[in-house]
Amino acid sequence: MEFELSAGEFELSAGALQVIEALEEAGYEAWVVGGWVRDALRGLPGHDVDVTTDAPWRESARILRAAGCEVLETGVAHGTITALAVGEPIEVTTYRVEGTYSDHRHPDEVRFVSDVREDLARRDLTINAMAWHPVRGLLDPFGGHEDLSRGVIRAVGDPWRRFEEDVLRILRAVRFSLRLGFVIEKNTQEALVGRVDGLKHVASERIGKEIDAIVRMGKAGRALLDQPEVMCAIIPELAVARGFNQHSVYHVYDVYEHIAHVCCAVQAFTAGMATPALQWAAFLHDVAKPATYSEDVEGHGHFFGHPIEGARMAESIMRRLAIPSDVTSAACALIRWHDERMPATLASVRKMLERLSSVCPGRETQLCFELFNLRRADAVSKCDSAASWASALDDYSALLRAEVARGPVFSVRQLAIHGGDVIRKCGVVPGPAVGMQLEMALRAVMADELPNERAVLLEWLRA
């Protein structure tokens, strides 16, 4: 059935209505398409509106300018302009079909057509291949509304052809399934896995944008478990972790499964509010385990140095995928120290703050809390007996909160004294000795041997 919902069930913005009315008063046809239709059917508020029309783009531009809209020629090679109507940007595209995809990503040619159904037939997923009109209602030639109702991700037409045309549609299908909590239809899933090798033809930066969206949604763990072929294709460093037996009494999962469970646990410990850096750290925290594996004489597995090597590998992966540098640096810092053994003392907390400050100045406190959450997630994703380690981290968190309340001290500039004090009050000659005295005072404060109080520190240095 093509018209399943009445026009009155959707509320379209004034800008979108103005664009549609202007085009249709000029004798053309126009429909709203894309994400706005999909989300409106799910009862979600509208966002950016895309309009498709049988008007050639030059005609669309002329008509909309005459209607008082500012028009930007944003993608005319593909028949697309952007109209600013009532202050709202509305993307307007001429109905089109696409030719072959020699590079598995972009069509070799675009041909404009007069039937909106042909335009919808070229789209990736049924839930994205619907059109709506404020008078005519819903046009749904491929059953997208039913798939939305059933919670199904299904390719339009032949899924093998859809994914061969543009292999990035593989990641879009995965992302939509994760975002909406939908199941990928059997034939679509088979084609998705069968075409996964084609992702090697896609620029790393473009893949990075898709995987970053999955990670930031908090769905990396689910993606690893549900779509291992896809995840290992886009990050080959993870492929060797799949099925890699840790030969450890502390682990019930292989390396790959452990990583997936840590990603899920991080979301649980942060109530779904994990930062991108923490999410990426969970995603790549044990990426170096296979490369650092060794066995002792009793056959027990060990991964000496895997945090340091993991931070190096993670930085390489994230730079390749063009992940923002601030996220990369913070995630790598968390990976570098995620397995650090440290006693539950104020001195060890201050030492960790110092380390984190050395690589991410000004972000050390937040990162320290995130480090504890990463270690909690790591603990509960090992074996039942190791899960108790997670609660032990509460002691570290309490110390960190107390330190934050006092004002953390992990650098010379945070001391209650400065170089002038050392020179005037302690009789030290200006020069390197001043810095040495301040460093001595800092170490004493960080070791909790002295309070960070000016009079106490000066008396201690004088003595």
pLDDT 10s digits, 364-404: 999 999 999 999 999 999 988 888 888 888 888 998 898 78
- Which residues share a beta bridge with 71? 83
For the four alpha carbons of 335, 339, 341 and 342, in that order, the dihedral sign comes to positive
Cβ–Cβ contacts within 10 Å for residue 70, how many?
Answer: 12
The per-residue pLDDT for 101 is 53
Predicted pLDDT at 448: 76
- Residue range 184-214, pLDDT digits in tens: 999 999 999 999 999 988 999 999 999 999 9
Given this model, what pLDDT does residue 216 score?
96
- Using DSSP bridges, classify how beta strands 152-153 and 137-139 pair: parallel, antiparallel or unpaired: unpaired
For residues 403 and 410, the answer to whether their CB atoms sit within 8 Å is no
Confidence band (pLDDT; 50, 70, 90) for 49? Answer: very high
Prediction pTM value = 0.85
3-class DSSP assignment, residue 271: coil
| Residue 339 CB-density burial (10 A; 0-12 exposed, 13-18 middle, 19+ buried) | middle
- % pLDDT > 90, the chain: 67
Which of 86, 85, 1, 67 is CA-nearest to residue 28?
67
Give the gyration radius of the chain's Cα atoms.
29
Collapse the DSSP code of 137 into the 3-class scheme (helix H, G, I; strand E, B; otherwise coil) and give the result. Answer: strand
pLDDT at 7: 47
Query: Helices 346-359 and 325-336: crossing angle, nearest 10°?
Result: 150
Of the pLDDT bands very low, low, confident and very high (cuts 50, 70, 90), residue 4 is: very low
Q: Give the pLDDT of residue 303.
A: 94
Assigned architecture for domain 7-157: 2-Layer Sandwich (3.30)
Of the candidates 312, 316, 350, which has an alpha carbon nearest to the alpha carbon of residue 333? Answer: 312
The continuous run of DSSP H or E covering 397 comes out as helix 388-406
pLDDT of residue 2: 40
From residue 15, alpha-carbon distances to 44, 61, 82, 112, 327 in Å are: 19, 15, 12, 25, 37
Given a cut of 90, whether residue 432 has pLDDT beyond it is no
Domain boundaries, the chain: 7-157, 240-406, 412-462
* pLDDT for 8 beyond 70: no
Distance (Å, rounded) from C-alpha 116 to C-alpha 131?
8
Nearest CA to 211 among 201, 197, 199, 195?
A: 199
Distance CA 444, CA 271 (A): 38
Average pLDDT, the chain: 89
| 218 contacts 189 by C-beta, under 8 angstroms | no
Residues 98/110, Cβ–Cβ less than 8 Å: yes
Q: What local confidence, expressed as pLDDT, does residue 109 receive?
A: 60
Rounded CA separation 376/394 (Å): 9
Q: Hey, how many other C-beta atoms are within 10 angstroms of the C-beta on 187?
A: 13
